[in-house]
Amino acid sequence: MRIVSGRWAGRSLVSPGGRIRPTAESVRDAAMSFVADELRGARVVDLFAGTGAIGLEALSRGARSCDFIENGPGAIHSLKANVAALHARERGRIFLRDAIAFVERLPAHSYDIAFADPPYGSRKLDRVVQRWLEVPFSQVLVIEHAPDHVLPRRGTSRRIGENDTMITVFRSRRERT
């Protein structure tokens, strides 16, 4: 697993294995292409961060900062190692927290872009989307999910790659500040 593009293109990332499902390079690249115009200088949050691959990809491509939200002990170890290896500590903060509890406390427009990649098949994705629809904690919400996961029609979805991954993007009507 490596960073696909930007400042750290080609740099390797570590993964703990086990129950972690790192986002494939092609999926990360597609997700970033959806938000390419908003990414430069953006305040990003990587929910269910795992190894931090999505947030680090965003930083590599010009995001100003990224908060990584993760509560798995194995993932936290890899996440910290990856942030340190890329010298991203000044631009990336790591929170050892449950992502659902984290977003439930966020006020509107706390971030420019939020990425969420919860475990496939869990209702955590629904809870994140519902919270965002009630209180849009970011201008843009980018979620990775299984193609059979039913979501509100308000987002724009696209199937990515051969592994039947879907990316859905929700956009707030408020302009970025």
The pLDDT, as a whole number, for residue 162 is 54
Question: CA-CA distances (angstroms) from residue 147 to 35, 154, 160?
Answer: 20, 16, 10
Looking at the domain assignment, is residue 37 inside a domain?
A: yes
**For residues 1 and 50, is the Cβ–Cβ distance under 8 A?**
no
Give pLDDT < 50 ranges for the chain: 175-177
What's the CATH number where 151 sits? 3.40.50.150
The pLDDT, as a whole number, for residue 165 is 83
Longest dimension (CA), the chain: 40
The number of domains in the chain is 1
The pLDDT, as a whole number, for residue 177 is 45
Say what the pTM is.
Answer: 0.90
Looking at the domain assignment, is residue 6 inside a domain?
A: no
The pLDDT, as a whole number, for residue 176 is 45
Looking at the domain assignment, is residue 139 inside a domain?
A: yes
Give the structural domain span for 152: 25-171
Looking at the domain assignment, is residue 11 inside a domain?
A: no
Looking at the domain assignment, is residue 106 inside a domain?
A: yes
Looking at the domain assignment, is residue 101 inside a domain?
A: yes
